Amino acid sequence: MSEERRLAVLRAIVQDYVDTSEPVGSKALLDRHHLGVSAATIRNDMAVLEEEGLIAAPHTSAGRIPTDAGYRLFVDKLAAIKPMSVAERRAISHFLDTAVDLDDVVERTVRLLSTLTRQVALVQYPSLTRSSVRHIELVPIAADRLLVVLITTTGRVEQRIVASEVDLLSPAGEDLMARVRADVGSVASGATLAEAAAGLADLPTRLSDSDATLTRTIATALADALVEEREERVVVAGTSHLARHGAEFTTSLGPVLEALEEHVILLKLLGTASEQGALAVRIGHENPHAGLHATSMVSTGYGSGSDLVAGLGVVGPTRMDYPTTMAAVRAVATYVSRILDR
């Protein structure tokens, strides 16, 4: 019973400190929360919490603030993540549904996440190395020109124009297109990009000369497209939100800003999130990079179907509204995954 009561006191301290940014005293807890105990009991519970390293006195103030360990226990004991309202979910859906392509989806997602949480938002571009081929379309645009369109499960669209020695608009050309379209689809659709590249490269060896020539040209064009897009990228938005919390960082914003500029660091953190899948919360020194030791990071993976292809999340001070931030990150990841799954 006493342990549950102390957890309730810790929860109240975290909530008040997040709301006010002021150290929390026993009198404030008694006034603002219905804890059902006396001020003396609350003071005793706060003393135990301080001995356990869950709260601390920032200066000579009579109030206390949560430590990283206190925030960790608070997050671990959350009974449920605060659900977003119907209006918030509808706004998220409408904002993302109107995106025109993958770049637009990523840009909208990072801006939306930053706006919802008022924190720095991070969105990793879907990795082509972890995606597969949804469809390859072949469209004759002239007698000797063919548009090759590659669509991946991560929503990326690649287009290449290749030359043809056969008149593609003639009856013979139409028959050739039908055969090549079927052959290309049989080896590429549903395959990973590496598997599709290997299958397309081998396909001409099993075809007639005319079919093999055009198929080999298509395979070369698609191989070039895949090689060009292997670079991992991450988009950042809302860095200005850190200025609102400048006083909360123990040293300065410098190390945090430097860490946010190191995209290799961010990709590593988001890559871990996309591999694990579940919503992850790193608090203070749980972040592997020293520049982020004064921050908390909430992240998760997103993708098409059950395949997670990238990560997204937010970075902010440890004095963070964890339930609301966790709900926003999870909701946005869910909606982005649905868009990619179409």
Please, what are the domains in the chain? 2-76 (1.10.10.10), 86-127+232-340 (3.30.450.40), 130-228 (3.30.390.60)
Residue partners of 16: CB distance under 8 A and separation at least 6: 22, 24, 28, 29, 32
The conformation of residue 25, written as its DSSP 8-state character, comes to -
Among candidates 307, 305, 289, which has minimal Cα distance to 297?
289
pTM of the model: 0.75
Average pLDDT over residues 331-341: 86
For residue 136, the SS3 value is strand
Per-residue pLDDT reduced to its tens digit, 112-170: 999 999 999 999 988 666 677 888 999 999 889 999 998 887 777 888 998 888 898 88
Tokens standing for residue 295: 């921050």
d(CA 215, CA 267): 36
Taking the CB of residue 148, how many other CB atoms lie within 10 A of it? 20
Q: Between the CA of residue 135 and those of 129, 138, 148, 190, 195, what are the distances in Å?
A: 16, 10, 11, 8, 14
pLDDT in tens, 298-316: 999 887 666 777 889 999 9
59-102 residue pLDDT tens? 766 788 999 999 999 998 886 667 778 888 888 888 888 887 78
